[in-house]
């Protein structure tokens, strides 16, 4: 069982792998950047990915800003 957990990446582990802050990964998730796969599940309330899901992520990553924040729409 413990071996299975070694193959999981949470936000902190993914951020370390990509050389960015945890908050950056959270922003990418919220903005649904195309190169970051959706998490495979949740563990203790946080996003987790299998290592195989993240294969090649360094090559797919697009450097720079992830795009504009989603606009809030108000119903008037």
How many structural domains does the chain have? 1
Residue 75 lies in a domain: no
The boundaries of the domain holding residue 9 are 2-60
Provide CB contacts within 8 A for 50, sequence distance 6+.
Answer: 7, 8, 9, 40
Residue 13 lies in a domain: yes
**CATH of residue 45:** 1.10.1660.10
Residue 43 lies in a domain: yes
Q: Are 44 and 12 in contact (CB under 8 A)?
A: no
pLDDT single digits (tens) 27-62? 999 999 999 999 999 999 999 999 999 999 998 887
Residue 31 lies in a domain: yes
Residue 72 lies in a domain: no
Residue 65 lies in a domain: no
**2 to each of 28, 34, 39, 44, how far by Cα in Å?**
28, 31, 20, 16
Residue 40 lies in a domain: yes
Q: Model-level pTM?
A: 0.77
Work out the percent of the chain whose per-residue pLDDT is above 90: 63
Q: Residue 27: is it exposed, middle or buried by C-beta count within 10 angstroms (0-12/13-18/19+)?
A: middle
């Amino acid at each position: 069982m413990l071996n299975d957990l070694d193959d999981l990446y949470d936000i902190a582990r993914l951020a370390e792998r990509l050389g960015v802050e945890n908050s950056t990964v959270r922003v990418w998730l919220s903005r649904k950047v195309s190169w970051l796969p959706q998490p495979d599940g949740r563990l203790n309330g946080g996003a987790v990915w299998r290592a195989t899901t993240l294969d090649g992520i360094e090559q797919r990553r697009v450097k720079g800003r992830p795009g504009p924040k989603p606009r809030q729409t108000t119903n008037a």
